[in-house]
Amino acid sequence: MAAIAVQTHLTPEEYLAWERKAPFKNEYLSGQILAMSGASRAHNLITGNTFNGLYNQLVDRNCEVYTGEMRVKATPTTSYFYPDIVVVCDEPRFEDDAFDTLLNPTVVVEVLSPSTAAYDKGKKFESYKQIASLQEYILVSQDRVNVERHFRFGTQWRTIKFQNLADVLPLDSIRCELPLSYIYRRVQWTDTP
């Protein structure tokens, strides 16, 4: 989903109060509001396939899987995001009794578009790294077969790339696997990836 920066600066409290009444989604990065726009067919297919694959593997376990409507808070520089998919294991913790802002994600998945790739790989990832519970950050390209698995390894983050439909994405923190052929099921490109 594309993010468009709006030159409005709010405190985290002002953002949250405003966002809960807004008719459309907005992310919040260090005081700046980022309006979220619609998603392409490929984006929707990838998000649905990935959500479905994770949900089916986690349905009988102590984990919950949410799609793009669950807001995630990152601190110490307060930011709020709407990941395409977020997984939380054990007891979910929320910012308040509205239960709409998750504090302890285990896995976050973002589907990249040309307009969001730099933001998702840069500032957003730097904010996500500050969430102690986050173990894996998955970036999925929508315009070619390319999945990046960023994962915690001690105090460092490591990256593995997958670029073949025959590859299988391991999600060690939640004991799941997703074949790239499943993630990209029914996605069509004008050029063969």
**Averaged pLDDT, 41-70:** 96
Which of 120, 86, 84, 124 shows the shortest CA–CA distance to 102?
A: 86
Of the candidates 125, 131, 84, the one whose C-alpha atom is nearest the C-alpha of residue 103 is 131
d(CA 162, CA 182): 13
pLDDT at 4 over 50: no
Q: Is the pLDDT of residue 189 over 60?
A: yes
The DSSP symbol for 94 reads B
Instruction: Say whether pLDDT at 7 is over 50.
Output: no
Q: Is the pLDDT score of 2 beyond 60? A: no
- Give the predicted TM-score (pTM) of the model: 0.89
Ranking 4-8, 54-58, 161-165 by mean pLDDT, the lowest is: 4-8
The whole-angstrom separation of Cα 191 and Cα 63 is: 37
- Whole-Å CA distances, 152 to 66, 131, 158: 21, 11, 6
165 to each of 8, 129, 169, how far by Cα in Å?
42, 28, 10
Domain ranges of the chain: 40-183
Backbone Cα Rg of the chain: 16
Fold of 40-183: tt1808, chain A (3.90.1570)
pLDDT at 47: 97
Average pLDDT taken over every residue of the chain: 91
